Amino acid sequence: MSRLDSFIRRLEAQRLVLDWAASSLRDVEGIVLELGLGNGRTYDHLREKLPGRDIHVFEKNPSPNPKSMPPVDRLVIGDMAQTLPAFAARHPAEAALIHADVTTGVPERDAVLFAWLPEQIVALARPNALVVSGWALAHPVLSGVPLPDGVPDGRYFAYRAKPAA
Ligand SMILES: C[S@@+](CC[C@H](N)C(=O)[O-])C[C@H]1O[C@@H](n2cnc3c(N)ncnc32)[C@H](O)[C@@H]1O
């Protein structure tokens, strides 16, 4: 498969997963976290699907399409290795949905480069929170859940945080 085909499939999978995740949030309280602003496409999609929801965006180098710049008080600038623990200290276990899109495009590299990320995600997730990610996250608190129809295997990953004890 060409890289163009692969990119298109990734975006299609992202849209399916984000639509599914957003619809599962109806009647569920909690903030939403977008990890990786990039061009702002998925942030823009989430805010369209979740009007009124408090969406916090994390990015070390924010330069999105200007139409997709988050409000200044919802954009956390810096390396997530530092900004996520600081945010979690202020907002422990408050997130109902976390979308991790910090891929380098090379899953093997991501697993090493972002080895610290699952622990941070778990600190931010409410009980039963939904976590969706472009690469597989391994953590005992996160259980894999089936993705919506149409998302090819290995293209995206979804997890539920453990329910409250
Ligand atoms: C794949 S892009 C996100 C694409 C975005 N979701 C979109 O739809 O346009 C990944 C982003 O994560 C950011 N990023 C990567 N590692 C990071 C880190 N350790 N801390 C903060 N941001 C990081 C990159 O700067 C990049 O903008």
Q: 93-119: per-residue pLDDT in tens?
A: 999 999 999 988 787 888 889 999 999
State in Å: Cα 149 to ligand 1 middle: 26
How much is the pLDDT for 164? 81
61 lines ligand 1 (CB under 6 A): yes
Lowest mean pLDDT among 2-6, 34-38, 69-73, 116-120: 2-6
- Mean pLDDT computed over 107-133: 94
**87: closest CA among 97, 99, 102, 77?**
77
Asked whether the predicted pLDDT for residue 127 surpasses 90, the reply is yes
- Mean pLDDT computed over 39-60: 97
Tell me the residue type at 25.
Answer: L
Q: Mean pLDDT score of the chain, rounded to an integer? A: 95
How much is the pLDDT for 37? 98
The CATH class, in words, for 3-161 is alpha beta
102 lines ligand 1 (CB under 6 A): yes
In sequence order, the 6+-apart residues with CB closer than 8 A to the CB of 97 are: 21, 22, 25, 30, 32, 33, 129, 130, 131, 132
State in Å: Cα 51 to ligand 1 middle: 23
State in Å: Cα 164 to ligand 1 middle: 30
Structure tokens at 78: 């810096």
Domain ranges for the chain: 3-161
DSSP string, the chain: --HHHHHHHHHHHHHHHHHHHHHTTTT---EEEEE--TTSHHHHHHHHHSTT--EEEEESS----GGGPPPGGGEEES-HHHHHHHHHHHSTT-EEEEEE----S-HHHHHHHTTTHHHHHHHHEEEEEEEEESS----TTEEE-PPPTT--TTT-EEEEEPPP-
- Mean pLDDT computed over 50-63: 97
How much is the pLDDT for 120? 97
How much is the pLDDT for 129? 98
Q: 57-88: per-residue pLDDT in tens?
A: 999 999 999 999 999 999 999 999 999 999 99
156 lines ligand 1 (CB under 6 A): no
How much is the pLDDT for 26? 86
41 lines ligand 1 (CB under 6 A): yes
- Mean pLDDT computed over 35-43: 97
State in Å: Cα 132 to ligand 1 middle: 15
